[in-house]
């Protein structure tokens, strides 16, 4: 058990360990592109060992000091090489993993994914032109792609979640495709990763033939009165994905780095907003919008957060984050696309619990497909704190308060949920105990880390 007491201050400097979720995405993409890759700065853990086991049939993998070397196998031979089992400990980007594996021609198994969620993945596949079938693999059920209709994909105009699935499938299949998206910018870790591996994913705003940007703007203004209000500001983008050609020397090894763990970053930044005393710097924080939803939410609440870009990684810029003392008020959040939010949502709910007023989280219906029900699991953790909250069909409402008593969560929880309630524990009065199994599997030095950066009140 992790035992926590009220924190008096939070100070020091901490360099985040690389994100296991992004590490797996990079390693799987290297296998798909048949690129030899060295990934530096990796700290061993039970979760990293799960990742290595998952990829052993698809690549020669070696860990030397803190560098993970991946050399994809030249051919897929035998049933074992055609089976991709996704580690249960990896959550936020599971859609990306599954569809990349499908594109690679694998039978993809995720043992913690229930049948109803697999049916949802099959529905996504259908919308973007992929014909899949369910396959029994021992006691588990997997998915396998049978065919791909690029014409359907090209005309599908996918939403943000479907777009991530389509790009992942195209990368796994090493194909190119041009398609359009509407009313959102292409913000996805795959875009950054593709460029790091010598592949291409670009998006440009769509302007009708014969109209330059200024003329298009004037026409939109002139037509505005005749158009429906929701369509007046509609933006269309053309996405050009080319995974068929690698713009890199495939004879050489590609060296990449992975930014810090998004779930741990969200927890520590939230903790600093709640415990303002002391100077604290968090480095190796992924700064792209898709990786920093907790930071964006805290800023909307009124938190004073500064970011300073320090380096480039395979997933975009990473840098230092500092937080200054501020008052925070409740805000609304549309959690779209959901995979941007999954790893950070529990910390966002804790931030809301200690803010002034109500916070509303919407578009969480897909969490109902998890096993256990993702929303119900999160609500069960809020109850021991006495946090006032209400359930909606597609989300939840949280009523903020200033003070809560310590609490106990004895059931092992996924790491991104458990660490969020550790954050709550350092702000509550009295002793708090959290089951540690999955926290230590992901962050073996977690207990040492919190003892070094927090000064606790009398135990």
CATH of the domain at 164: 3.65.10
Whole domain around residue 451: which residue ranges? 2-17+259-456
Contacts (Cβ under 8 Å, ≥6 apart) of 334? 362, 363
Helices (H), 139-259: 150-155, 160-173, 189-196, 213-223
What is the CATH number for 389?
3.65.10.10
On whether both 390 and 282 belong to a single domain, the answer is yes
pLDDT at 208: 56
Residue 252 is assigned to a structural domain of this protein: no
Burial of 151 (0-12, 13-18, 19+ CB in 10 A): exposed
| Rounded CA separation 459/456 (Å) | 7
Question: Phi-psi bin for 12: left (phi > 0), alpha (psi -120 to 50), beta?
Answer: left
On whether both 169 and 281 belong to a single domain, the answer is no
Residue 78 is assigned to a structural domain of this protein: yes
Single out the residue of 186, 48, 161 nearest to residue 98, CA to CA. Answer: 161
CA Rg value for the chain: 22
Residue 178 is assigned to a structural domain of this protein: yes
**241 in Cβ contact with 187 (< 8 Å):** no
Question: Which of 192, 210, 245 is a domain's end point?
Answer: 245
Residue 117 is assigned to a structural domain of this protein: yes
Question: Which of 203, 223, 245 is a domain's end point?
Answer: 245
Residue 253 is assigned to a structural domain of this protein: no
Residue 254 is assigned to a structural domain of this protein: no
Question: What is the chain's pLDDT, residue by residue, as a tens digit (459 residues)?
Answer: 999 999 999 999 999 999 999 999 999 999 999 999 999 999 899 999 999 999 999 999 999 999 999 999 876 555 556 889 999 888 899 999 999 999 999 999 988 889 999 999 999 999 999 999 999 998 889 999 999 999 999 999 999 999 999 999 999 999 999 999 999 999 999 999 999 999 999 999 886 555 445 544 543 444 444 444 444 567 899 999 999 988 866 668 999 999 999 999 999 999 999 999 999 999 999 999 999 999 999 999 999 999 999 999 999 999 999 999 999 999 999 999 999 999 999 999 999 999 999 999 999 999 999 988 999 988 888 888 888 999 888 999 999 987 899 999 999 999 999 999 999 999 999 999 999 999 999 999 999 999 999 999 865
On whether both 95 and 200 belong to a single domain, the answer is yes
Helix (H, G, I), strand (E, B) or coil at 238: strand
On whether both 220 and 267 belong to a single domain, the answer is no
On whether both 202 and 281 belong to a single domain, the answer is no
On whether both 173 and 302 belong to a single domain, the answer is no
**162 in Cβ contact with 156 (< 8 Å):** yes
To 5 degrees, how large is the angle CA 111–CA 20–CA 440?
Answer: 85
On whether both 105 and 48 belong to a single domain, the answer is yes
pLDDT at 83: 87
Contacts (Cβ under 8 Å, ≥6 apart) of 158? 127, 128, 165, 166, 179, 181
On whether both 104 and 239 belong to a single domain, the answer is yes
**318 in Cβ contact with 310 (< 8 Å):** yes
Single out the residue of 279, 330, 313, 42 nearest to residue 195, CA to CA. Answer: 313
On whether both 287 and 223 belong to a single domain, the answer is no
Question: 């194909």: which residue's tokens?
Answer: 175
pLDDT at 227: 42
pLDDT at 391: 87
Question: Which of 245, 268, 302 is a domain's end point?
Answer: 245
Residue 155 is assigned to a structural domain of this protein: yes
On whether both 11 and 95 belong to a single domain, the answer is no
pLDDT at 215: 44
For the chain, how many structural domains are there in total? 2
- Kindly write down the DSSP assignment for every residue of 312-352, as one continuous string: EETTEEEEEEEEE----B--EEE--SHHHHTTTHHHHHHHH
Residue 7 is assigned to a structural domain of this protein: yes
On whether both 197 and 270 belong to a single domain, the answer is no
pTM for this one?
0.92
On whether both 362 and 439 belong to a single domain, the answer is yes
């Amino acid at each position: 058990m992790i035992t926590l007491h009220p924190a008096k201050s939070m100070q020091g400097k901490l360099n985040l360990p690389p994100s296991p979720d992004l590490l797996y995405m990079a390693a799987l993409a290297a296998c798909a592109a048949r690129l030899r890759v060295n990934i530096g700065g990796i700290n061993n853990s039970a979760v990293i060992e799960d990742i290595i086991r998952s990829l052993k049939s698809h690549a020669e993998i070696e860990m030397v000091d803190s560098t993970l070397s991946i050399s994809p196998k030249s051919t897929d031979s035998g049933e074992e090489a055609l089976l991709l089992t996704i580690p249960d400990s990896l959550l936020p980007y599971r859609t990306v993993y599954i569809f990349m594996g499908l594109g690679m021609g694998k039978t993809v198994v995720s043992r913690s994914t229930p049948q109803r969620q697999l049916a949802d993945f099959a529905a996504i596949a259908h919308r973007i032109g992929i014909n899949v079938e369910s396959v029994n693999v021992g006691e588990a059920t997997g998915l396998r792609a049978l065919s791909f209709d690029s014409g359907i994909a090209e005309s599908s105009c996918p939403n943000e979640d479907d777009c991530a699935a389509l790009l992942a499938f195209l990368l796994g299949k090493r194909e190119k495709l041009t398609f359009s998206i509407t009313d959102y910018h292409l913000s996805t870790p795959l875009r950054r990763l593709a460029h790091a591996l010598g592949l291409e994913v670009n998006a440009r705003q769509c302007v009708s033939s014969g109209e330059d940007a200024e003329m298009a703007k004037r026409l939109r203004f002139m037509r505005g009165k005749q158009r429906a209000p929701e369509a007046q500001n509609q933006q269309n983008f053309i996405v050009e994905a080319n995974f068929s050609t690698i713009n890199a020397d495939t004879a050489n090894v590609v060296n990449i780095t992975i930014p810090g763990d998004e779930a741990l970053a969200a927890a520590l930044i939230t903790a600093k907003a709640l415990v303002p005393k002391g100077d604290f710097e968090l480095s190796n924080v992924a700064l792209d919008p898709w990786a920093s939803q907790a930071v964006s939410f805290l800023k909307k609440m009124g938190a004073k957060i500064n970011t300073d870009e320090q380096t480039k990684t395979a997933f975009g810029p990473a840098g230092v984050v500092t937080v200054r003392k501020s008052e925070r008020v409740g805000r609304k959040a549309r959690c779209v696309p959901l995979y941007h939010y999954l790893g950070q949502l529990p910390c966002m709910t804790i931030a809301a619990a200690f803010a002034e007023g109500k916070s509303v989280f919407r578009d969480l219906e897909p969490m109902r497909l998890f096993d256990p029900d993702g929303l119900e699991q999160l609500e069960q953790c809020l109850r021991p704190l006495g946090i006032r909250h209400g359930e909606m069909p597609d989300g939840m409402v949280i009523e903020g308060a200033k003070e809560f008593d310590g609490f106990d969560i004895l059931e092992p929880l996924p790491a991104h949920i458990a660490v969020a309630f550790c954050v709550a524990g350092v702000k509550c009065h009295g002793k708090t105990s959290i089951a540690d199994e999955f926290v230590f599997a992901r962050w073996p030095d977690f207990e040492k880390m919190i003892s070094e950066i927090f000064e606790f009140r009398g135990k």
